[in-house]
Amino acid sequence: YCTGRSVRGRLASGDSRPETIEETAELVTSRGGKGIAVRVDHTVEAEVEALCERIRAEAGRLDLLVNDIWGGESLLELGTPFWKQSPQKARLMFERAVFTHVVTSRYAVPLMVERDRGLIVEVTDGDSFGYRGSVAYDVTKMAVLRLAFAMSRDLRRTNVTALAVTPGFLRSEEMLAHFGVTEANWRDAAKKTPDFIASETPAYVGRAVAALAAEPGVKARAGRVFASWTLAREFGFTDVDGSQPHWAEHFEKAYGKPYPVADDAAYGSWLGGAIETVAPDWPVY
């Protein structure tokens, strides 16, 4: 089920991108799956609930939920101090990129809990807890990381797993257009932005999700964030051109500093909170 607001003949309000959910569904089908396009505004609770009721009626199960809802490209104010940022843009970013994940999980995850199996993937930006260049953007992407962690705590007595995944420098259709290049000549953009030479297609992080979904022991990864490039090395998959872009290695080479990552110590500070100490069985199922 490929969901979103942009359908053929009717793009989302304020969206200039031509991609549609029908196109995405067709890509799924062309690769051997069965893509089903469903127009859903994930900020509207009733539409999300109806989607999940349809999945229950048609499929009777849900194995994998990928929360990759974003819609914040036009709202970014990178490099602008928070006291000069637009509160309206911040609110809309939170609604589109955090609330949508919360409400979608609220109605989709019961299909997994009932069968005591499934994987929830929160797609974020970055596998560290470092500042991301803008208060609104930083809070949004850290909230997605925290959402994967928090859901994993509620799910810890089930066989449903929640975790987060990040791509590197994503070579999306919108980014290609931003640089005025295509997938055929994308390397030309590295003349303007050298870091783009380490970019990756959306398929790379998609293959990372597929690898995790097929991993028998994925439960051991619950609550954590994983990068496309580290998963590529671990599972042996490549990008569409056969390469294995590795953002961390590029970063260290380009900037001469170790790449920051949220390691065991970073996540350790999130464990053993007061509520889990005082009420270890919280929440009550």
For the chain, first and last CA: distance in Å?
A: 28
Domain for residue 15, yes or no?
no
Looking at residue 156, what is its pLDDT? 95
Q: Which CATH number characterizes residue 224's domain?
A: 3.40.50.720
Domain for residue 17, yes or no?
no
Domain for residue 200, yes or no?
yes
Looking at residue 281, what is its pLDDT? 87
Looking at residue 282, what is its pLDDT? 85
Number of domains in the chain: 1
Tell me, yes or no, if the pTM score tops 0.85.
yes
Domain for residue 125, yes or no?
yes
Looking at residue 15, what is its pLDDT? 64
Rounded mean pLDDT for each run of 10 residues along the chain, 285 residues in total: 90 73 96 97 98 98 97 91 96 97 98 98 96 95 98 97 98 94 97 97 98 98 98 98 98 96 94 89 85
Domain for residue 263, yes or no?
yes
Domain for residue 22, yes or no?
no
How is the chain classified by DSSP, letter by letter? -EEES-BTTBPPTT------HHHHHHHHHHTTS---EEE--TT-HHHHHHHHHHHHHHTS---EEEE-----GGG--TTS-GGGS-HHHHHHHHIIIIIHHHHHHHHHHHHHHTTT-EEEEEE-S-SS-S--SSHHHHHHHHHHHHHHHHHHHHTTTSSEEEEEEE-SSB--HHHHHHHT--SSSGGGGGGT-GGGGG-B-HHHHHHHHHHHHT-TTGGGGTT-EEEHHHHHHHH----TTS----HHHHHHHHHSSPPP---HHHHHTTSS-HHHHH-TTPSP-
Instruction: Supply the range of the domain harboring residue 178.
Output: 60-279
Looking at residue 11, what is its pLDDT? 62
Domain for residue 211, yes or no?
yes
Domain for residue 5, yes or no?
no
Looking at residue 86, what is its pLDDT? 97
